[in-house]
Amino acid sequence: MEKDSPVFFLIAGEVSGDRHGADLIKELRKLYPEARFKGIGGDKLKAAGMELLYHNSRLAFLGITEVVKHLPFIRRVMKDVKEELRKGVDAVILIDYPGFNLKIAPYAKKLGIPVIYYICPQLWAWGEKRVEKIRRYVDLPLVIFKFEELFYAQHGIEAEFVGHPLTEQIHITVGKEAFFRKHQLPIEKPLVGLFPGSREMEIRKILPVMLQAVEMYQKKQDITIAIGAASHIPTSLYQEFLSGNSDVPLISGDEVHALMKYSHVGLVSSGTATLEMGYLQTPMVVLYSVSPITYWIGKRLVKIDTIALANIVIGEKVVPELIQGAMTAEKVLFELERYFQNPTYYNSVKERLSDIQKELGPPGAASRAAARIASFLNQHPPQEI
């Protein structure tokens, strides 16, 4: 690519994608110092210098019913994105978020814009109907799990494994004692970390169950709790469920990883957080709940029997998953008791979680992805696609 000041359009509709996208921008700037970045993202992409067309918090819908309810807004966003693409960009970089991104890819391709998919959709989980869209509309698929490279190869698609960005995003600089002291946590008590997700609807469904379970367990053993809070979610939402108990610390930002590491056990909403917890080898209980219709549709589409990324990467159900109707305080309590009362079980889970670090590849995913994008664009400028 000869252009010294390319324009990149990124779409990261989720919190994890915002973080991965910000890291990618930093690496692309080293190769294109004059580059301009615009698109859909969150606070981290904005801080990295991207001009936000929309903040992704406005697109944080959980499940089919939420999406249907907001269809007019989603259509407006899509219309605005297409208008931006018509103004001219040098490459579109899609980050996960397939429901939206796989509708934008064909339009960008039609305009002759190179389409790069960084963190390809989990088609191995949701069936193979969308594979053809990747084949037809994505020029450079970049994947972050080793097994995904093989999956795409089996479908005749040359995807490239660049490693998982998580390996360079977890930086814990504070020791356990200093962390406990800072957040006024008694170090002599076991800590249970609660990670109820990053969407309002998700938090409203999952946090009350988590709190009820730990409240029941606190009657049996003296434990302490802290909540891993999403930075973009108002504190008032968490306080709504704490019944005025201001002693429970809300920990956000980079310190969330420290909370994950120093928790004896984590209660965590299904998603990227399960992978982060697993990477740090903290045993966990995974919770997941969506609307009945979303679950009904999902059961018919999902091709794997586990939902937690930690379990998927390991290749078997190592940590317990409480899904939909099984997500009750009583069942969370049962799993908590297993961890606390059965050291052999606890240590075996901890040991199995160590496999995750081996599967994610070495640090440097964003750097490798940026280098591959630059190489591709040098060979395939927009007018040649």
Is the domain of 139 the same as that of 95? yes
* pLDDT value of residue 176: 97
In a domain, 193, yes or no: yes
* pLDDT value of residue 307: 82
pTM, full prediction: 0.80
* pLDDT value of residue 67: 62
In a domain, 170, yes or no: no
Q: Domain with 331 in it: what CATH number?
A: 3.40.50.2000
Query: Which structure tokens are listed for 344?
Result: 């052999």
Is the domain of 352 the same as that of 368? no
* pLDDT value of residue 215: 95
Is the domain of 81 the same as that of 230? no
* pLDDT value of residue 130: 78
Is the domain of 113 the same as that of 211? no
In a domain, 261, yes or no: yes
Q: Is the CB of residue 209 less than 8 Å from the CB of residue 332?
A: yes
In a domain, 44, yes or no: yes
Is the domain of 151 the same as that of 185? no
* pLDDT value of residue 64: 53
Q: Is the CB of residue 232 less than 8 Å from the CB of residue 210?
A: no
Give the amino acid at 265: V
Strand partners, 322: 287
Is the domain of 130 the same as that of 189? no
Is the domain of 337 the same as that of 277? yes
- Domain ranges, residue 58: 7-163+364-384
Is the domain of 55 the same as that of 201? no
Give the amino acid at 148: E
Is the domain of 182 the same as that of 318? yes
Is the domain of 133 the same as that of 239? no
Mean pLDDT, contiguous 10-residue spans, the chain (385 residues): 80 91 97 97 96 89 59 91 96 93 96 96 70 94 92 92 92 96 96 95 95 96 96 92 84 95 97 94 92 49 71 94 93 98 98 93 95 94 58
Is the domain of 374 the same as that of 294? no
In a domain, 83, yes or no: yes
Number of folded domains in the chain?
Answer: 2
* pLDDT value of residue 1: 45
In a domain, 2, yes or no: no
In a domain, 147, yes or no: yes
Is the domain of 208 the same as that of 288? yes
In a domain, 169, yes or no: no
Burial of 34 (0-12, 13-18, 19+ CB in 10 A): exposed
The DSSP result for 98-143, as a single string, is: HHHHHHHHHHHHHTT--EEEES---HHHH-STTHHHHHHH-SEEEE
